[in-house]
A = this chain, B = another copy of it.
Amino acid sequence: MNKIVTFGEVLMRLSPPGYRKIQQSSQLDFYFGGTEMNVGASLSQFGLVVQHISTVSNDIVGEAALASLRQYGIDVSHIKKVNHPLGLYFMEVGASMRSSQIAYNRLQGSFAHISPDLVDWDAVLDGCTWLHWTGISPAISEGAYQTLKAGLQKAMAKGITITADPAYRSNLWQYGRNGHEVLAELIGLSTIFIGGVNEINEILKVDFTLDKEGFIAASQKLREVYPQITKVFDKVRTGLSASHQKIYGRAWVNNQYIETPEIEITDVADRIGTGDAYAAGLIYGLHNYNDQEALNFANAACGLKHTVLGDVNLVSVAEVLEVANGNVSGRLKR
């Protein structure tokens, strides 16, 4: 077996239909997602074997969350039920110049109550060749942080590839720890870095510029501090409006800079999970292609996610390859 393990919260996302506001609605659309499980679901969609580790509520919502994960083909056998409500958030979807707005209800939820004793990491890591985490999980609670650290330590010891997407979200981190310090520690337990100049600047307390030169310098600096990090992958987004975005990928691998062509997305259907789609594309690409191809695949996957509703990038490898190969005409497939 060649199992990929993802670790993180499963959240319910609730949105009024279309561009409505909650007070204009009597119904809410919902999806289950979460940054790490989005990566897992996308990888499962691409055909890889994925197991997700989390805690969910011991009620009708938690059952529905598990059903959703199973639907994506994710192994949920190590997810535990706890007597706390599932984390969730409300989103009013913006358009054009109006931003989407989010209200979270997660800091006392079932994932916030995870703890190392609820995860049998030895069993989980058995057969695992790749572990993925993000900066969201350790920002939720002490238990989430300790559980993740325990897993990363065991995974490092086993030589498992570990992708870190250590985004720093300032409105989290309310349980007492310093987010930058925690992320700095956990990057030391990782082998591939998914992030850019902002993340490196924040974590290393440095101040590189956002351009290509800054990215290269920041990447080199990162590898100095964390020599076990072998590759640095970044994604550059230009937001013209809520409905119109441009993205390209860049990376520092083998002491070389590579980048992808820029993709333009008009008519954005859903912004959520586009970064996760990039990470999933990267992990799939690194399993199957060389670094440049993997980066192209990741950027194309990210682009396509903007056209898919929900948190999860429900596209096939063939669809991603077509975009990665430059066909963005969206021609009807009969």
Contacts and interface: CB of A to CB of B under 8 A. Distances in A.
Central interface residue in A26, A102, A104, by most chain B CB within 10 Å: A26
Given A95-B267, A332-B102, A26 B26 contact: yes
A314 B23 contact: yes
A255 interface: no
Interface in A53-74: 57, 59-61, 63-64, 67-68, 70-73
Interface residues of A, number: 82
Interface stretch (A191-199, A223-231, A238-246): A238-246
A90 interface: yes
B24 A310 contact: yes
Interface string A1-34: 0000000000000100111111111111111000
A241 B329 contact: yes
A333 B101 contact: yes
A22 B263 CA distance: 26
Contact of A269 (B95, B240, B303): B95
A258 interface: no
A136 to B, nearest CB: 11
Contact of A99 (B24, B104, B263, B319): B319
A94 interface: yes
Interface in A275-334: 303-304, 306-310, 314-315, 319, 323, 327-334
B22 A304 contact: no
Contacts of A271: 332
The 9 closest A-B CB pairs, nearest first, are: A242-B330, A85-B105, A59-B103, A22-B64, A97-B328, A98-B307, A108-B108, A23-B64, A71-B71
10 contacts: A20-B26, A22-B60, A26-B26, A27-B29, A61-B90, A94-B307, A97-B330, A241-B267, A241-B328, A242-B331
Interface of A: 14, 17-31, 57, 59-61, 63-64, 67-68, 70-73, 85-86, 88, 90, 92, 94-105, 108-109, 169, 171, 239-244, 263, 265-271, 303-304, 306-310, 314-315, 319, 323, 327-334
Given A61-B103, A94-B307, A95-B267, 9 more contacts: A24-B26, A26-B27, A70-B72, A85-B103, A94-B332, A98-B308, A105-B109, A242-B329, A243-B267
